[in-house]
Structure 1
Amino acid sequence: MSSIKVECVVKEPNEIGEGPVWEEKDATLLYVDITGQRISRWSSLTTQTESMSTETFVGCVVPRRSGGYMIGEGTRFAAVDWQKRSITTIAHVDTDKSKTRFNDGKVDPAGRFFAGTMGLEVRPAEVEKKQGSLYSLQADHSVIKHFDQVDLSNGMDWSLDHRYFYYIDSLKYMLEAFDYDMQTGAISNRRTVYRLEKDEGIPDGMCIDAEGKLWMACYNGGRVLRIDPQTGTRLQTVKLPVAKTTSCCFGGKDYTDLYVTSAYKGMDEEARAQQPQAGCIFRVSGLGVKGIPPNSFAG
């Protein structure tokens, strides 16, 4: 076994760091600070971070084939021109609700941008339940609503053969799977894959590796779990020096590093003094497994 190394690489703390995406061409890590209302790019070559502000809470950011990025921000899908630091609305969701916002999102293998909403937080990780929905933005900018009654829409990814969609509604404390139709983007046959144990925290963001196993960050659990979605078993636990681990993605050379985002929002001074790296981003190396490149939005 190679020895696993956990290092803090992005030292500028985020209130709620989330949604990391590796950009291979520039060797950069793209991510958001949800309540800090900013999109950032950290260069692994220069270790410098560039950021731009958003107008409201930004749940996720993804690359776009035609250049720039797409975001789920507030209750809109929007396009980001990074050079001009400008944001353009593409489509609105949850128009019948007053108190929701986008949270996590990811692009499917066909280039659709899936993202879900949640009720606004009363207190950190305490939300009005069943207010959220899961949506996908198509290449023609139309929006499909897949289902509602979501408490806190979170991590998602697709199986390597594109037959399954994996999904987390955090407050259900479990990882779920659906059958997935690559041609239409339709999902069906919802079922439970893994239920979190008491000390594992709240399931948050996740990603898939090149062996088809899922890596799931556990908020308030200070760890990332490796789950076999075929058997529903936990294969590995990687502990981090912060409790509020939020999401993860593979990146670096050959996608052999796991980047893990975290949050400090909701922690008092004493807790932050005990966890000075809360809100920073960590690189986990020596896992002996690779990830796969992210998909880009087709529209």
Structure 2
Amino acid sequence: MSSVKVECVMKENCKLGESPVWEEKENSLLFVDITGKKVNRWNSLTKEVQSVSVDAPVSSVSLRKSGDYIITLGTQFAALNWKKKSVTTIIHIDQDKSNNRFNDAKVDPAGRLFAGTMAEEIRPAVLERHQGSLYTLFPDHSVVKHFDKVDISNGLDWSLDHRTFFYIDSLSYSVDAFDYDLQTGKISNRRGVYKMEKEDSIPDGMCIDTEGKLWVACYDGGRVIRIDPETGKRIQIVKLPVDKTTSCSFGGNDYSELYVTSAYLGMDEAWLSRQPQAGSIFKITGLGVKGVPPNSYAG
């Protein structure tokens, strides 16, 4: 295991970096700065970062089959045209909750976009509880709400056989699983599969590898952990030089590189001077496992 290497590949200074997504055809990593209101694209060959600024907190970016991207912006699902730097609203949700915003989102194997909401934070991880919900945006732009009373809707992914949906509501300090129906997009039979250890702190973004194990970024924990959803055991810890690790996803030519986003929001000057790379993007290599390429939204 000593070959694991963590490097800072982008000193981006994201207030709240999130939603890393590998885009194969561009050799690029997409990611957002939620409170910085920016969607970013880092080219792994030229090392250049391009950005599109938006007018509300942007919490996720996903690929679209038709090209370009779909984003969660404030409380709307929206289309992002990269060349024109233009945003088009698809649909608004949570309109009765003016204080809400979207958080993490991911496209399922059938091309639907799953995304959850939360109340705006007073300060990091401090917020009015039970205000969020989990939604699916279908390719025909219809929306289904799965459940509400969510604190901080976060990491999500699907098992390799597509029969299980994994999900994190951060303040439950747990990774949960649901039975998943790929035909309909319905989820049922919620259960916990991993309870966070104290030193892991708050579970945030999540992704799956080709061995069916889950990688969870631990906010305030300064690490990503690998867990086995079958046994409920933590099987690996990779520490990073920043505390506020927010999300992770696999990328690179063969999806063997784990990219990790981070944040500096809520850190004072003393803390920042100890962790000058807070808000940067990191690449972890030498893990000996590969990830699953991201799905594209079919609408």
Specify the TM-score bucket, using the shorter chain as the normaliser: over 0.9
- Distance in 2, matches of 1:106 and 1:219, equals 19
- Distance in 1, matches of 2:90 and 2:134, equals 17
- Displacement of 1:2: 5.7
Cα deviations across residues 60-88 of structure 1 (Å, max 9, x unaligned)? 01000001100111000000000100000
Secondary structure (helix, strand or coil) at the match of 1:199 reads helix
Aligned counterparts, 1:198-277, within 5 A: 198-277=198-277
Matched, 1:116 2:97: no
Cα deviations across residues 237-296 of structure 1 (Å, max 9, x unaligned)? 000000000000000120000000000000001100000000000000000000011000
Secondary structure (helix, strand or coil) at the match of 2:224 reads strand
- Distance in 1, matches of 2:173 and 2:70, equals 28
Matched, 1:69 2:61: no
Question: 1:22 is matched with which residue?
Answer: 22
- Distance in 2, matches of 1:57 and 1:23, equals 22
For the 8 Å contact 1:179–1:187, the answer to whether it is kept is yes
Aligned residues: CA RMSD: 0.7
- Distance in 2, matches of 1:199 and 1:220, equals 9
Secondary structure (helix, strand or coil) at the match of 1:141 reads coil
Question: 2:173 is matched with which residue?
Answer: 173
Question: 1:292 is matched with which residue?
Answer: 292
For the 8 Å contact 1:2–1:287, the answer to whether it is kept is no
- Distance in 2, matches of 1:58 and 1:233, equals 33
Secondary structure (helix, strand or coil) at the match of 1:207 reads strand
Matched, 1:47 2:36: no
Q: Percent identity?
A: 67
Q: Residue 41 of structure 1 aligns to which amino acid in structure 2?
A: R
Question: 2:8 is matched with which residue?
Answer: 8
Q: Residue 53 of structure 2 aligns to which amino acid in structure 1?
A: S
- Displacement of 1:202: 0.3
Q: Residue 28 of structure 1 aligns to which amino acid in structure 2?
A: S
- Distance in 1, matches of 2:140 and 2:150, equals 26
Secondary structure (helix, strand or coil) at the match of 2:291 reads coil
Secondary structure (helix, strand or coil) at the match of 1:25 reads helix
- Displacement of 1:97: 1.2
Q: Residue 44 of structure 2 aligns to which amino acid in structure 1?
A: S
Question: 1:157 is matched with which residue?
Answer: 157
Secondary structure (helix, strand or coil) at the match of 2:294 reads coil
Cα deviations across residues 183-241 of structure 1 (Å, max 9, x unaligned)? 00000000001011111110000000011100000000000010111111111000000
Question: 1:283 is matched with which residue?
Answer: 283
TM normalised by structure 1 equals 0.99
Q: Residue 78 of structure 2 aligns to which amino acid in structure 1?
A: A
Secondary structure (helix, strand or coil) at the match of 1:126 reads coil
Alignment length (residue pairs): 299
- Distance in 1, matches of 2:286 and 2:104, equals 27
Secondary structure (helix, strand or coil) at the match of 2:98 reads coil
For the 8 Å contact 1:132–1:149, the answer to whether it is kept is yes
- Displacement of 1:53: 0.6
Q: Residue 86 of structure 1 aligns to which amino acid in structure 2?
A: S
Moved over 2 A (4+): none
Q: Residue 186 of structure 2 aligns to which amino acid in structure 1?
A: A
Matched, 1:105 2:131: no
- Distance in 1, matches of 2:3 and 2:119, equals 41
Matched, 1:193 2:193: yes
Cα deviations across residues 110-152 of structure 1 (Å, max 9, x unaligned)? 0000000001111111111000000010000000000000000
For the 8 Å contact 1:260–1:281, the answer to whether it is kept is yes
For the 8 Å contact 1:157–1:208, the answer to whether it is kept is yes
Can you give the 5+ residue segments of structure 1 that lack an aligned partner in the other structure?
none
